[in-house]
A and B are shown apart, each in its own frame.
Chain A
Amino acid sequence: MRANALRLLAAAMGVYLAATPVRAHHEMAAEFDDRKPVTLRGVVTKYEWNNPHVYVFVDARVNNETANWALEFAGPSDLRKAGWTRDSVKVGDAITIEGSLARDGSKTAGGKTLTLPGGKKLSTVSEDVISAAPKSAARPTPRWPDGHPRLGTVPGEKGYWAHPSAASLADNTAGNIRMNASGLLANIADAGKVAPFQPWAKGLYEYRQRTLLKDDPMASCLPPGGPRQFQAPHGLQILEQPDRQRVFVLSGGGNRNWRLIDLDGRALPQSEDVSPTYFGYSSGKWDGDTLVVDSVGYVERFWFSNGGLPHTESLKLTERISRPDFSTLKYEVTVNDPATYTRPWTSGWTLQWTPNEDIEEYYCQDNPRDAEHLLGQ
């Protein structure tokens, strides 16, 4: 019975992995059911070009009932990559939208395509498009006058880090574990391989996976602390201040979140001396061309990785950040949380440089339509 249930769940997740076209602020699979496709033909009554989700409202007739439907798409920055503009849709347009029905039975759907009156078809951006790394000419690692690698922009240029090569933390010894860009496992049976969980933590991780990450604190607009800042779909910027001996890590795709790493050799605070925070307290030093950062003091109210890996206030992180060439940021993190995991474990991935662009503003409270996610569930 249990094995059948697991197989069904694995199959459902497989369908989701194959079919889910967007990566958005909240986990789309938790809200919309890809097994319930819908095609709506109607007249646009409202078009909201806002973060975290663009909405198109149409009066459409379904099952002999005319109603006003809300069609949810990815955020503006993602849709721009797929050719949308804030003027793509106009009130009064007769359009056709394909999407997936909401799980709660409301007159809401997750939009996948939108066909305009002239026949032009707009699609929501696919994960492949979002994660595709830009092609950059090979350039050497940029350096500061003292020889250390520059981890951020070079003078006169723009750019930021994005396109992480891994979706979620997973123990380096775990082998290949399939998961989508939100860290949702293709096969729930792989849960135990992801990290050396204590039993309660494995149970909680599996619960979060089975519920399609619906409780993700990021859906309540809470910050992506820890390694998750390096997995965020809208990238990050590293701002170095050598004269002040500190580094800021600025989140794209968040509420202007930033993390401070001190490089002046200060000791990390004792846990009883500080209030835990979402980005913790970090102290770093250079080991050759690698910035080694130790961090403590994390609050428990966030998920420190995509996919819902648990942690406690005992969490200590050691991160190793390097830039082996101009376009590659190498990130490795060792997780030490004895209250959650049976041993320290390490994971890592690379990010790619996105040239000639800056991280974008993305206030997730911008659209009141998403208030239910601000309030949690």
Chain B
Amino acid sequence: MRGRSALFLVVFVCLPFAVSMLAQEGHPLTGSWHGSWGPTPTQRTPLLFYMKWETKNVTGTINPGPNAIPLKVATLDAANWTVHFEADTKDGMHIVADGKLDNIGSYNRTIAGTWTQGAMKGDFKLTRD
């Protein structure tokens, strides 16, 4: 019985962890990313990015759903692993984000950098799901 409990622990607790630790796959920006942006560490707005590499360019959406914001620009400079995003909110605010891709070899790699939305400035961090 104790052995079965241990097996259950390994299979159902450890295995999802193992899967989440898989290494990087495909284009580094492809996938779902979550995180936040904000002017201070306590004033944060949640972010969800979905991006896909389409042979020649990256397409994507910020916060998919009824208030989705399509990415107008999403570029990756693989020489130094910097990224640049641009988008426009529904109420006309222009978003510009510049960041750096980190922990590239990991499935759960990250992007962090500066975020400008209209007149507001802050930082952002995204982690790949």
Contact = CB atoms under 8 A, between A and B. Distances in A.
B72 interface: no
Interface stretch (B24-32, B61-69, B121-129): B24-32
Interface stretch (B1-9, B76-84, B89-97, B110-118): B76-84
A301 B22 CA distance: 8
Given A200-B76, A204-B78, A338-B55, A217 B23 contact: yes
A271 B107 CA distance: 23
Contacts of A204: 24, 28, 78, 104
Interface stretch (A6-14, A88-96, A284-292, A311-319): A311-319
B53 interface: yes
Contact of B27 (A217, A220, A339): A339
Interface residues of B, number: 22
Given A300-B26, A312-B26, A376-B21, A203 B78 contact: yes
The A interface is mostly helix, strand or loop, or mixed, namely: loop
B74 to A, nearest CB: 12
B104 to A, nearest CB: 6
Interface stretch (A119-127, A206-214, A248-256): A206-214
A375 B25 contact: no
Given A215-B105, A374-B18, A376-B21, A202 B78 contact: yes
A377 interface: yes
Contacts, number: 68
Given A203-B81, A217-B22, A375-B21, A208 B105 contact: yes
A203 B29 CA distance: 13
Interface string A291-324: 0000000011100000000111110000000000
B55 to A, nearest CB: 5
A376 B22 contact: yes
A257 to B, nearest CB: 17
A199 interface: yes
B108 to A, nearest CB: 10
Contacts of A313: 26
A290 to B, nearest CB: 30
Contacts of B21: 220, 375-377
Nearest to A197: B78
Given A217-B23, A339-B27, A312 B53 contact: yes
A201 B104 CA distance: 12
A72 interface: no
Contacts of B104: 204, 207
A301 B78 contact: no
Among B23, B30, B76, residue most surrounded by chain A Cβ atoms (within 10 Å): B23
A312 B23 contact: no
B18 A310 contact: no
Given A207-B105, A211-B105, A339-B55, A375 B78 contact: no
Contacts of B22: 217, 220, 222, 301, 376
27 contacts: A199-B78, A199-B79, A200-B27, A200-B76, A203-B78, A203-B79, A204-B28, A204-B104, A207-B104, A207-B105, A208-B105, A214-B105, A215-B106, A216-B23, A217-B22, A220-B23, A222-B22, A301-B22, A301-B25, A312-B26, A312-B30, A312-B53, A338-B55, A375-B17, A375-B21, A376-B107, A377-B21
